[in-house]
Amino acid sequence: MVVLQVTLYKGSDMEDFGFSVADGLLEKGVYVKNIRPAGPGDLGGLKPYDRLLQINHVRTRDFDCCLVVPLIAESGNKLDLVISRNPLASQKSIEQTLPGGEWSEQNSAFFQQSSHGGNLEIREPTNTL
């Protein structure tokens, strides 16, 4: 496991940070799910399966998406993250990526996945992630 500090910048309040998040299935926490190519998350070095340990000096290790999304939304144009990365999980995501991936024309919706009380809910995120 590798722990990294990442700072993301976006051009305006109307722009997002170019990544979506999902709650952990086997381990509590919030993980990066998708990254928009050439977006702030991609340019800052985020990878799928990165775990968000801290957002702007707030420890998020045991948070879920419902608590993390507002922290990201309130961060303005700069987002300071501390993440943990499992090199094996990151490598596996690269091997499983299909041409076009989830950011292709067919899958242009940018979804945030969150679980509440055992039910899985898919919803469109705010423009601030």
Read off the pTM: 0.71
More confident call, 19 vs 88: 19
DSSP letters along 95-109, please? HHPPTTGGGSGGG--
Lowest mean pLDDT among 16-20, 45-49, 107-111: 107-111
User: Mean pLDDT throughout 97-106?
Assistant: 41
The pLDDT of residue 13 is 83
- Residue 53, sorted as left (phi over 0), alpha (psi -120 to 50) or beta, turns out to be alpha
Lowest mean pLDDT among 2-11, 42-51, 87-96: 87-96
More confident call, 125 vs 55: 55
CATH assignment, 2-93+111-123: 2.30.42.10
Query: How many Å separate Cα 79 from the centre of its chain?
Result: 12
Lowest mean pLDDT among 11-15, 58-62, 77-81: 11-15
Residue 109 in this model has a pLDDT that exceeds 90 = no
Provide the b/e sequence for 89-98 (b: ≥16 CB within 10 Å): eeeeeeeeee
The pLDDT of residue 19 is 98
Q: How confident is residue 102, by pLDDT bands cut at 50, 70 and 90?
A: very low
Provide the b/e sequence for 3-33 (b: ≥16 CB within 10 Å): eeebebebeeeeebbbbbbbbeeeeebbbbb
Question: Residue ranges of the domains in the chain?
Answer: 2-93+111-123
